[in-house]
Amino acid sequence: MSRYGGRVFSQAELQTLRALIDDNPGLRRAALSRLVCERLDWRSANGRLSEMSCRVAMLRMHEDGVLQLPPSRNSKPRRPACFASTAASDPQPEVQAPVHDLPALRMQLVHGAGAASRLWNEFMARYHELGYTPMSGHQMRYSVYAGEQLVALISFGASAWKLADRDRFIGWSAEQRRNNLPFVVNNTRFLVLPWIRSHGLASKVLAMAARRVLANWPSRYGYAPVMLETFVEIPQHKGTCYKAANWQRVGQTKGRGKTSTSHIPTLPTKDIWLYPLRPDFRSFLCR
């Protein structure tokens, strides 16, 4: 058994992939991934073919020597995403006011690759300590405004494949985790802009974001998440805003990354914080 793209492949399925590649030498990689999804009936929770996850999985199989993909027809190597700083993301005058003294907060869902998306990426690249990293698979990004002023940005995406302390807290088996992991959504980035100094703002944004994700995720992906997770690097940060927003600290990572299969720590240790979105989360996730 091999795991790629959040899916476990049997040896028979890997052989099916190799046969499809051999039998369709003229297909481009995108068309091949669609054919693989159809043959394996690989679908997301909303019933759509998981083509993007399949492409990522097959590319990693290719890199690991598990199978041989046809050569890419894109002659130019893809450059890493880069968002140069512009005047649109320049620092603004400092705001010092508790959250209840700010104008009403509103969250704007960021769609596609338009101007709002590029600006979101630019702010994240310029001011977040981890920078900007493109997300694959299911995801949502929000810009948060106080009145007309941008004050924060937040995003959600795929959860970690395996976390000992999280999995112990939920109590699910390996099979239950494989089946129900999509119902756990990761808060991948959270940035309060550095010139916004507002007591209580971060925890209020987290509370608003939990409600918005619960409302928006089903309309985009066809199912509702059951739990949120995030990681807080220690000792630089203490997760105070997550605690204030009623998230629960359940343990720590092992320093091996979201999808690592190695037992060697390569990353800083982080606290694991969880936020159940329904009271029966355990019975649901352990179905």
At 66 the pLDDT is 87
The SS3 of residue 144 is strand
What pLDDT, in 10s, does the model give residues 8-65? Answer: 788 888 889 898 898 888 888 888 888 999 999 988 766 788 887 888 888 888 888 8
Confidence band of 72 (pLDDT split at 50, 70, 90): confident
Q: What residues contact 73, with CB distance under 8 A and at least 6 apart?
A: 28
Q: What is the mean pLDDT of residues 189-198?
A: 97
Domains and CATH numbers, the chain: 2-64 (no CATH), 87-285 (3.40.630.30)
Q: Which is nearest to 181 in space by CA: 58, 76, 45?
A: 45
Residue 38 — φ and ψ, nearest 5°? Answer: -65, -45
% of the chain beyond a pLDDT of 70: 90
Q: In angstroms, how far apart are the furthest CA atoms of the chain?
A: 65
At 257 the pLDDT is 57
- For CA atoms 234, 235, 241, 243, the dihedral sign is positive
- CB-CB neighbours of 148 under 10 Å: 7
Pair 75, 69: CB distance under 8 Å:
no
Pairing outcome for strands 196-197 and 95-96: parallel
**Cβ neighbourhood burial of 242 (10 Å; 0-12, 13-18, 19+):** buried
Highest mean pLDDT among 33-47, 63-77, 201-215, 255-269: 201-215
pLDDT at 82 over 70: no
**Cβ neighbourhood burial of 116 (10 Å; 0-12, 13-18, 19+):** middle
Cα-to-chain-centroid distance, residue 105: 24
What pLDDT, in 10s, does the model give residues 99-154? Answer: 999 999 999 999 887 899 999 999 999 999 998 888 777 899 999 999 999 999 99
Q: Which is nearest to 121 in space by CA: 133, 111, 112, 130?
A: 133
Q: What is the mean pLDDT of residues 233-250?
A: 94
Q: CA-CA distance, 99 to 196, in Å (whole number)? A: 10
Confidence band of 213 (pLDDT split at 50, 70, 90): very high
Q: CA-CA distance, 35 to 96, in Å (whole number)? A: 55
Quote the radius of gyration of the chain (alpha carbons, Å): 21
At 191 the pLDDT is 97
Q: CA-CA distance, 203 to 72, in Å (whole number)? A: 45
Q: CA-CA distance, 58 to 68, in Å (whole number)? A: 9
> Residue 105 has which token pair?
């907060």
> Residue 232 has which token pair?
């807080």
Q: CA-CA distance, 220 to 134, in Å (whole number)? A: 19
Q: Which of the pair, 179 or 81, is modelled with greater confidence?
A: 179
Residue-averaged pLDDT of the chain: 89
At 3 the pLDDT is 74
Q: CA-CA distance, 170 to 177, in Å (whole number)? A: 10
